[in-house]
Chain A
Amino acid sequence: MIYEPAPLLSVKNLTIRFPGSGKRKDNEVLSRLSFDIRDGEIFGIVGESGSGKTITALAIAGLLPDAAKIISGEIIFRGNNLLSLPPKKRRALLGKEIGLIFQEPLSSLNPLMTIGRHLMEYLTSHGNPESPRERLKARKSRILKMLAHVGFHNPDRIYRAFPHQLSGGQRQRALIAGELLLNPSLLIADEPSSSLDSVTQTQILDQLRRVSQSFGISVLFISHDLKLVERMCDRLAVLHNRKIVECDSTYEVLHSPGHPHTAALLRSASLQIRDENAARPAPPVDAVPLLRIDSLNAGYSSSILQTGTEEKEVLKDVSLRILPGEILGLIGTSGCGKTTLARVVTGLLPGTSGQIFENERLVVDFSKRGRLKKTSVGLVFQDPYNSLNPYLTIGRLLEEPLKVNHLFEKKERRDRVLQMMTRVGLPKKYYDYYPSQLSGGQRQRVALAMSLMLSPSLIVADEAVSSLDVTVQSQILKLIWEINQKSGISFLLITHDLKVVRSVCDRVAIMDSGRIIEAGRVGDVFRTPTNPVTRMLIQ
């Protein structure tokens, strides 16, 4: 018999419900969940949004929302059932034995406090120092050392910085440093890299792996991304519909999935959408471009008396051609100017110089203080939760583009809206629904339908699938692909995700610090990147 040490954490039969009131039924969010985390391992939980991943993390930490009720189960940590510990003892474990890293580092930081004060809280909330002044110095040097340990070259600056002065990756790394201060034995990382771009994401995940090894910390890694989980985790549990459907070594789960849902997840994750045989022939590269952007400069400025940002050039000499009927991917790290380009192309932001041609006809010359007027370009935003007015029904939202342009009679407009809903795969009954009654994927369908209402020849989709989980992501990309194939509408697909580009795009342009550094057919660019930055992005 092989001796197996007791696991660090074991969750047994955990069931959590949000009790309903009156007519509303109880909402079960976790159902008889059981899994173990061993000492020093990285254990992954994958699942779609709403499958109960975050609730699991919060339950272990004891930070469940007040409304949640634990119906049954045990959470055994180092031999103690956490659920029967008094709150004070449980709190004492947080930060000291169990650390948490959340998805969005900016919103997990108090905007009014420096990073140093945040990290100080890890030390001060566990036991009071006897001589505060002496200890303050010691504590500070401990924090600075840890900041240096996670790779900051100038820990002093980070210590004094406020959250908004750092980049997303820096914030997340600073928070990891904080978690390590008291050397916990379990680190719960809830989608720790989902809000970061691919380069930063890699850095953060490497960091996590390294600290797990060098400090011997077990990590509970929660993600919706199978690729990341494969890279990170020793063992893996797949969460589906509030239950664990599969739990085994990562290799085993991903290479011989034992549950149909895992197989489906794997299929969506690979994002195989393009069907090269059925695809329309891509337009020749020397075709007359649908939209040609010529040496465009753009930025944000402020008048002397307005406080805030100084004049800032974001786009530098950008030239780009979008061919009729193609899907052009635009990738780059966050803050490189992708969104600014989208805003200029759709006329939301004037450029400072440069020209835009539509079918080789000059539509705007920014050098002559021109402004882009109504164009045939639609726009889909990243966040389907914030881009739809919550007070309008889906029908009203879709009708609006026609209404403000005084197109068609009332009845005709209604017919067109219903047709469009069918086209993007929304059931007709949603006509009278409000955005809050729809899921993220359905909302993004509404946003896409909205941009299609005025029959544009080009749609700019700014990170339109990045906030969706894999299954929904592949559905929306499929829809984009179908619309492109059926009606020949061009898409400018802005993303930080290479998979998305591979899945549907004909050509790809790479942006770095406001410049287009490379552009070409997806296969060519990915196979033989010429620019070092492209190479780094692709790795």
Chain B
Amino acid sequence: MNYFLKRTIQLICTLITVSIITFCAFYVIPGDPARVILGPDASDEQMDNLREDLGLNRSFPVRYFRWVSGALTGDLGKSLTFRQPVSELLGQKLPVTLSLAAMALLITMLISFPLGILASGRPGKFLDQLLSVLGNIFFSFPPFVLALLMTLLLGLTLKLFVAGEYISFTESVPGFLASLFFPALAVAVPKIAISQKFLRASILAEKNKEYVRAAKSRGLSDTKAMVLHIIPNSLVPIITVFTIIASEILGGSLVVEMVFNIPGISRLLITAINVRDFPLTQGIVLYLAGMTVIVYFLADILHSLVDPRIRLK
């Protein structure tokens, strides 16, 4: 229990640091929110009034604490361009990005685990080499090429899905999931390529360890030794690989969202940056950073659950 407590304290400290850095970043970059809102023709007086309204003329700590206490209650301010609360905008886009990420992660696991195990079965033989080459190819494809190819091949030629059609989850949940499947696949393919390689290497490393030989000396068959001993141990380092993949996927993929016409967080972020919509950008960046920190926290917890050496000392 001590371990979880320590980790939680660490998580809170990290989140506070992240929020300070996020806030600082927007404090120092050039561009005046008041000017963005009022346009180039506004008088100085109008500008001053607005700054007063927005609290922009207060000191840094005061502004930071206002923002953080707002954020804690779910109030991230109002978007300057959409004239809508930032939290509301995030509430619309986040479920889409999160669903896409979850689906992509699931596809990655479902495909890369069997492939990794298969490749490690007979290292250096035909199947292993084939998977290695395919892995290299799919890993080095730029995402937009992959997304476009999929649209062209699977969408327009094979008619497996309607290119550019997006069904929101308020319309139909199965339709929503179906319209996310191919985008999720596009996100997952390069990740499958890499995690399959890591798993293969990890299994091969565990395979030669002495405890595997010892397990066989108890009369375990090769398959049982694989399932009961080698695979659980080789998944321990894979947790780290998936942590990196998950935090990347959760940030959304701009290319995939663009090509498949999905209203996710990446597109919102690009819009916000283009029009210097500070509150909105700040909110999204806070989400991205916070999400990464939380994913790493969960990975640590998962690690400790799997590996008793971390938990019990």
Does the CB pair B312–A122 fall under 8 Å? no
* Per-position 1/0 for A206-229, Cβ under 8 A of B: 000000000000000000000000
Asked if A38 is at the interface of the complex by the 8 Å CB criterion, the answer is no
Asked if A514 is at the interface of the complex by the 8 Å CB criterion, the answer is no
Shortest distance from the beta carbon of B155 to any chain A beta carbon, whole Å: 44
Asked if A396 is at the interface of the complex by the 8 Å CB criterion, the answer is no
Asked if A277 is at the interface of the complex by the 8 Å CB criterion, the answer is no
Contacts of A107 in B (CB 8 A): 209-211
In chain A between 107 and 130, which residues have their CB closer than 8 angstroms to a CB of chain B?
107-113, 118, 121-122, 125-126
* Per-position 1/0 for B1-31, Cβ under 8 A of A: 0010011011001000000000000000000
| C-alpha spacing A99/B7, complex, angstroms | 43
Shortest distance from the beta carbon of A363 to any chain B beta carbon, whole Å: 34
Residue in B219, B229, B232, B306 whose Cβ sees the most chain A Cβ within 10 Å: B219
* Per-position 1/0 for B291-313, Cβ under 8 A of A: 00000000000000011111011
Asked if B220 is at the interface of the complex by the 8 Å CB criterion, the answer is yes
Does the CB pair A94–B233 fall under 8 Å? no
Contacts of B110 in A (CB 8 A): none
| C-alpha spacing A363/B206, complex, angstroms | 47
Contact check: which of A100, A112, A113, A304 meets B217 at CB < 8 Å?
A: A100
Contacts of B219 in A (CB 8 A): 91-96, 122, 125-126
Does the CB pair B217–A61 fall under 8 Å? yes
Contact check: which of A92, A94, A108 meets B211 at CB < 8 Å?
A: A108
Does the CB pair B307–A111 fall under 8 Å? yes
Contact check: which of B3, B10, B233, B313 meets A112 at CB < 8 Å?
A: B233
- Supposing A102-B210, A104-B210, A108-B211 touch, asked if A164 and B217 sit within 8 A by C-beta, the answer is no
Q: Please, could you name 25 A-B residue pairs with CB atoms under 8 Å apart, sorted by A?
A: A61-B217, A63-B216, A92-B219, A100-B217, A102-B214, A108-B211, A109-B211, A110-B229, A111-B233, A111-B309, A112-B232, A112-B236, A121-B218, A121-B220, A122-B218, A122-B219, A125-B219, A125-B221, A164-B308, A164-B312, A165-B312, A175-B214, A304-B6, A307-B6, A309-B313
Instruction: Give the number of chain A interface residues (Cβ < 8 Å).
Output: 34
Does the CB pair A95–B307 fall under 8 Å? no
Asked if B58 is at the interface of the complex by the 8 Å CB criterion, the answer is no
Asked if B213 is at the interface of the complex by the 8 Å CB criterion, the answer is yes
In chain B between 267 and 313, which residues have their CB closer than 8 angstroms to a CB of chain A?
306-310, 312-313
Does the CB pair B214–A94 fall under 8 Å? no
Does the CB pair B209–A112 fall under 8 Å? no
Query: For residue B306, which residue of chain A has the nearest CB?
Result: A112
Contacts of B310 in A (CB 8 A): 307
Does the CB pair A63–B229 fall under 8 Å? no
Asked if A1 is at the interface of the complex by the 8 Å CB criterion, the answer is no
Asked if B47 is at the interface of the complex by the 8 Å CB criterion, the answer is no
Asked if A354 is at the interface of the complex by the 8 Å CB criterion, the answer is no
| C-alpha spacing A104/B213, complex, angstroms | 12
| C-alpha spacing A112/B209, complex, angstroms | 14
| C-alpha spacing A313/B310, complex, angstroms | 21
- Supposing A122-B219, A309-B313 touch, asked if A108 and B7 sit within 8 A by C-beta, the answer is no
Asked if B89 is at the interface of the complex by the 8 Å CB criterion, the answer is no
Determine the main DSSP class of A at the interface with B: loop
Query: For residue A182, which residue of chain B has the nearest CB?
Result: B219
Asked if B98 is at the interface of the complex by the 8 Å CB criterion, the answer is no
List the interface of chain A (C-beta within 8 A of B): 61, 63, 91-96, 99-100, 102, 104, 107-113, 118, 121-122, 125-126, 162, 164-165, 175, 178, 304-305, 307-309
Query: For residue A125, which residue of chain B has the nearest CB?
Result: B219
Does the CB pair B312–A108 fall under 8 Å? no
Contacts of A304 in B (CB 8 A): 6
Does the CB pair A94–B308 fall under 8 Å? no
| C-alpha spacing A95/B221, complex, angstroms | 12
Does the CB pair A108–B210 fall under 8 Å? yes
Does the CB pair A94–B216 fall under 8 Å? yes
Contacts of A165 in B (CB 8 A): 312
Does the CB pair B213–A63 fall under 8 Å? yes
Does the CB pair A308–B209 fall under 8 Å? no
Does the CB pair B211–A110 fall under 8 Å? yes
* Per-position 1/0 for B200-239, Cβ under 8 A of A: 0000000001110111111111001000110011001000
- Supposing A111-B307, A165-B312 touch, asked if A125 and B220 sit within 8 A by C-beta, the answer is yes
Does the CB pair A164–B218 fall under 8 Å? no
Shortest distance from the beta carbon of B24 to any chain A beta carbon, whole Å: 23
Does the CB pair A109–B308 fall under 8 Å? no
Contacts of A110 in B (CB 8 A): 211, 215, 229, 232-233
Q: Which 10 pairs show the lowest CB-CB distances between chains A and B? A: A108-B214, A95-B219, A100-B217, A125-B219, A107-B210, A95-B218, A162-B308, A94-B219, A110-B211, A125-B220
Q: A112-B232, A175-B214 are in contact. List 20 more A-B contacts (CB 8 A).
A: A63-B213, A63-B216, A94-B218, A94-B219, A95-B218, A100-B217, A104-B210, A108-B210, A108-B213, A110-B229, A111-B211, A112-B233, A112-B306, A113-B229, A121-B218, A164-B308, A164-B309, A164-B312, A304-B6, A305-B9
| C-alpha spacing A63/B222, complex, angstroms | 11
Contacts of A309 in B (CB 8 A): 313
Contacts of B217 in A (CB 8 A): 61, 63, 94-95, 99-100, 102
Shortest distance from the beta carbon of B195 to any chain A beta carbon, whole Å: 20
Contacts of B10 in A (CB 8 A): 305
Shortest distance from the beta carbon of B63 to any chain A beta carbon, whole Å: 29
Contacts of B6 in A (CB 8 A): 304-305, 307
Does the CB pair A307–B7 fall under 8 Å? yes
Contacts of B221 in A (CB 8 A): 91, 125
| C-alpha spacing A112/B212, complex, angstroms | 13
| C-alpha spacing A349/B262, complex, angstroms | 57
| C-alpha spacing A361/B220, complex, angstroms | 63
Contacts of A307 in B (CB 8 A): 3, 6-7, 310
Contacts of A162 in B (CB 8 A): 308-309, 312
| C-alpha spacing A95/B229, complex, angstroms | 17
Does the CB pair B218–A125 fall under 8 Å? yes
Shortest distance from the beta carbon of B308 to any chain A beta carbon, whole Å: 4
Contacts of A99 in B (CB 8 A): 217
| C-alpha spacing A118/B212, complex, angstroms | 12
Shortest distance from the beta carbon of A48 to any chain B beta carbon, whole Å: 21
Query: For residue A65, which residue of chain B has the nearest CB?
Result: B208
Contacts of B215 in A (CB 8 A): 110, 121
| C-alpha spacing A426/B270, complex, angstroms | 66
Shortest distance from the beta carbon of B142 to any chain A beta carbon, whole Å: 35
Contacts of A91 in B (CB 8 A): 216, 219-221
Shortest distance from the beta carbon of B208 to any chain A beta carbon, whole Å: 9
* Per-position 1/0 for B235-251, Cβ under 8 A of A: 01000000000000000
Shortest distance from the beta carbon of B309 to any chain A beta carbon, whole Å: 5
In chain B between 107 and 135, which residues have their CB closer than 8 angstroms to a CB of chain A?
none
| C-alpha spacing A102/B215, complex, angstroms | 11
Query: For residue B308, which residue of chain A has the nearest CB?
Result: A162
Shortest distance from the beta carbon of A304 to any chain B beta carbon, whole Å: 8
